[in-house]
Amino acid sequence: ASPRLAVDLVQLVLAATDLGAHVGPHIDAVVRLVRASSKALADLAVRADELPDAVRSDEYVRNAAVRQLAAMVLLVRGAEALAATDIQRFDELAELVGSSQALDVAMPWVCALLGLHGDDAGGGRTSIPRLYDTAIDIDWDSLAEELVRNPDHAHALEVVACYVMHRAAWALPATLRSWWAGLPQSARATSVAVERFVTRHVSPIIMSREAERIRRQTGEEQQQNAVGMLAQTLEEYDDAAVRVGAAQATLLYTVDDNTLEMAVRLPPSYPLAPPTVESVKRVAVSEKRWRAWLVATQALLARNRHIDAVCSQLVGNV
């Protein structure tokens, strides 16, 4: 089968930012497409550990894998676009993905293409070129562009599977976490391999993007023209400030020479493990009130919100 079948898939990866306008009215159809394409692949009776080799030797399997990945690309890119343009439709999409268990049927095939499946599952297929297997600061969009330039790339589907894993972690972090946490004990090897892969390859990129998202709204140079919920909140509460590091955002709120300090910390395997909110210096905040803040934060994270939204809510609580 010709690897050029991946070209249409990659074009989806590179879809314009207005993808949300096309996905929004049809979220139910997108979710059904994910489930149907995953079932079509399963109906070919190919074991997960055989999939990487089967896509190279069997045209039917390859076509089915391309369709399944294309559906996943549409889902995660559509979710990302909706999150930026229509948060209500995004919430509806995320809820539908969860209730339909779309990731439950789709992600095992993504994992299979990455070698994250079976008793011998490791941290990714060793056949994937070293650049893709070892670089933690990889530019996934550049990889997709490379596939457009070189559609005969021997590992086209594996690379796009990496892309899907990365985009799912960014656009639907809580949904991906729920899928991973719900893996049965019989899939323990897959669970461990996915965690290792995400920690090594995906989390550093996600953390960097989360930090940059906050910096754009809090840096002194950008503050005046910053756009976003956190920027608006900090403008309203001028006694508050947010400092950001590689895996932590620190919130400071000063009143009458007293400073309340909280930290939102991202674990190494984020988003598979959720962020934690810690009290560094708690002034005039009762235990009951503090617990209410934590509950509200957990509820926000369960809705696939980014860390800047968490910071904004915590500042507003104060």
pLDDT in tens, 74-104: 888 888 888 888 899 899 999 999 999 899 9
Residue 220 in this model has a pLDDT that exceeds 50? no
pLDDT digits 0-9 by tens, 129-160: 444 444 444 555 566 566 556 655 657 777 77
Average pLDDT of the chain, as a whole number:
80
248-255 and 240-244 as β-strands: parallel, antiparallel, unpaired?
Answer: antiparallel
